[in-house]
Amino acid sequence: MSKLIDEIRFTQELIKKPSVTPKDYGAIKVVANHLKKLGFKCKFMSFQEKGTDKIINLYAKLGSQSPNLCFAGHTDVVPVGDLPSWTTNPFGAKIKKGFLYGRGVSDMKGGIGCFVAAVSEFLHKNKKFKGSISFLITGDEEGIAVNGTKKVVEYLKKKKEKIDFCIVGEPSNRKKLGQMIKIGRRGSITTHLTVKGKQGHIAYPFEALNPSTPLIKILDELKSKPLDKGNKNFQPSNLEITKIQINNSADNVIPARATATFNIRYNNLHTFSSLKKYILKIINKFEKKYKCKTETKFIGTGTAFLTKPNNTVKNIQKIIQKETGQKTLLSTTGGTSDARFIKDIAPCIEFGLVGNTMHQVDERSSIKDMKKLKQVYLKIIKNFFN
């Protein structure tokens, strides 16, 4: 058996790979090399849809028995942003005043490091455990997410690979380690709306058709009517208007077209199809009233889902509370993650480091938190197989 893996040194090794989506720079291999030393069989998978960049993914597994506990994560990171504002090299992995600095340390190379270290310690004392441990690691979570976890899940489905439970190592805590487990996520639907009118002189509006009028009416009705009141596990669905554009260089001309973009983060009371139908109904209502023409484009980046708090979830919650001293909430707040793909093949939760500096300048994680997270993961693994 190889020597124990240290979560801090492992994470530092990962941070030093500047794996800004879609580039990998050997980050996936760092994970695979360490897992191979622990006895894992590693399968690299590369996918590339037309017009996109090739992405390297990894599915690693130790054992062939059930149950299979999977850890999912991503080695890709967002760009560093304003480089001169960083107080350390974003890919230098420097430790300063009890914190490990680096792009991706909280989101989520640190989570990967802590889980690999926990598995290393578990295997050191449990060489013949009954079950399997697997890792699903992608390099396409921060980007368009079409050649990453989504494709790996499709492959696992075809191979009839069974995963009994999955932990996604996203930074689920906002301020303190142990505050929150994500047991689901809201869905997301973005609508790009174009209203076509007729250009004309503002002094002769009856000879033109101003597209801004129906556009404003459509947006007002969509925004002013609540979609729902939420439920036990989800907050109310929410619509936000993100863009309104009229490309008009003259002040005395009625424009020919107006566009708007809006997004709905929705709970499990809706689906992509039901919301699309609802939006089109309102658009068609004002299209008829103002005798204008419209074009719509809908983009969905994930459906609402929920992992019901079964015994596994409740046990994980108890472990986290005991180890961190926090009252650990079960939540469905926040944006999207790769759990939206994994939920098709396995129940999953998200739990990782504190994420209040993720995507920011001087992204960092507490060394104390990382050591504690390793212990939490270790207790979860022991509990799962016992």
Cβ(105)–Cβ(77) below 8 Å:
no
- Distance between CA 251 and CA 369 in Å, rounded? 57
76 a catalytic residue = yes
- Distance between CA 197 and CA 273 in Å, rounded? 28
Amino acid at 255: P
Say how many C-beta atoms besides its own lie within 10 A of residue 81's C-beta: 13
Choose, from 13, 76, 170, 363, the residue flagged as catalytic: 76
DSSP-assigned states of every residue in 190-216: EEEEEEE-B-EETT-GGGSB-THHHHH
Q: Cα 39 to the chain's mean position, in Å?
A: 29
Joined tokens for residue 90:
């974003």
Joined tokens for residue 17:
């790979």
Phi, psi of 133 (to 5 degrees): -125, 135
Choose, from 13, 107, 121, 141, the residue flagged as catalytic: 141
Rounded to a whole number of angstroms, the CA Rg of the chain reads 24
Place of tokens 């079964």: 310
Would you please indicate which residues are annotated as catalytic (active-site) residues?
Answer: 76, 141
